[in-house]
Structure 1
């Protein structure tokens, strides 16, 4: 009878490290043709089907690029669904509030996007661009420049509100980012 050799645990199995097994680990590859990356992102093959594709992160992003969560809903239904989702998934909005992400990557709220649109800026505009656009446009429609013009006064109030929304969001980001 051949001796098998000593184990490194000296008879105490709890001394072994966890996951120290030597057998091969099965890795599922990406289902995209020609991709050799691990496929760890499941995606449905069709609506209401339990069958899934398994893509790598790059191909999962490509798969989801044209997906619209609010497809087929009118404005009121979409707003109601968004409000219900925000009520149950505070963690996602919490990450953007703590400025874990930069501008233009989904970290801005819908109110901030509306404010940027009112100022005529892109969604990834920096706060300095916001300040410049607000000053330029506010000077054009300020009530002191156009006295008695109701439309200009309304436009000025709209610009003022948009600036306040963006300023408050910027203050939250810088305050949370400072680590205080």
Structure 2
């Protein structure tokens, strides 16, 4: 009779050899010639084709920048396909107002982003650039410079409110920091 031998690890992995029970993980490389990064971003080879390229994130972004989903279709087919796509996924349109509507890194509120846009600045502009832009724009449309001009007065008010929003936000950041 053969005697059954009990395992000595009692279910605790720390008593086993490290990685002894694991096989090598299969990693698919990027399909771009010469790239050795993992290819974990699938990209279609052509419309209506199940075949996919597998790129790294950098090459997937490069590929997608030149991708035209409607390539090879005439205007009528493209319009029909677009209408079909929109009808199938129309439920997602309801949630569009929850997303960010502008660019930014998330450190600025929507009001701040709109104020920066009103002053013609990038979302990552610092407060010195805000002051400079506000002064130059406000000088152009100030009521003392353009008396009786309703459009200039409205533009001046917009610049003034934008500056106040950004100044209050800067004060809050300084107070917290």
Shorter chain as normaliser: what TM range? 0.5 to 0.7
Work out whether 1:31 is the aligned partner of 2:25.
no
Q: Distance in 2 between matches of 1:85 and 1:43?
A: 25
Larger Rg: 2
Query: Contact conserved, 2:121 with 2:130, CA < 8 A, in 1?
Result: yes
Aligned twin of 2:154: 154
Give the drift of 1:54: 1.4
Aligned twin of 2:95: 84
Aligned twin of 1:104: none
Query: Normalised by the size of structure 2, how large is the TM-score?
Result: 0.58
How many residue pairs match? The answer is: 147
Change (3 A) 1:67 1:147: farther
Q: CA RMSD in A?
A: 4.3
Query: Normalised by the size of structure 1, how large is the TM-score?
Result: 0.57
Q: Distance in 2 between matches of 1:84 and 1:167?
A: 32
| Higher RCO (CA 8 Å, separation ≥ 6 residues) | 1
Aligned twin of 2:8: 10
Give the drift of 1:145: 3.4
Q: Distance in 2 between matches of 1:53 and 1:59?
A: 11
Query: Contact conserved, 1:96 with 1:108, CA < 8 A, in 2?
Result: no
Give the drift of 1:151: 2.2
Query: Residue by residue, what CA displacement relative to the aligned partner does 1:66-102 show, whole Å, maximum 9, x if unpaired?
Result: 569xxx99xxx9xxx8773343x58x99x943x3xxx
Q: Distance in 1 between matches of 2:48 and 2:149?
A: 56
Q: Distance in 2 between matches of 1:117 and 1:67?
A: 30
Query: Contact conserved, 1:138 with 1:159, CA < 8 A, in 2?
Result: yes
Gaps of 5+ in 1: 1-8, 100-106
Give the drift of 1:131: 1.9
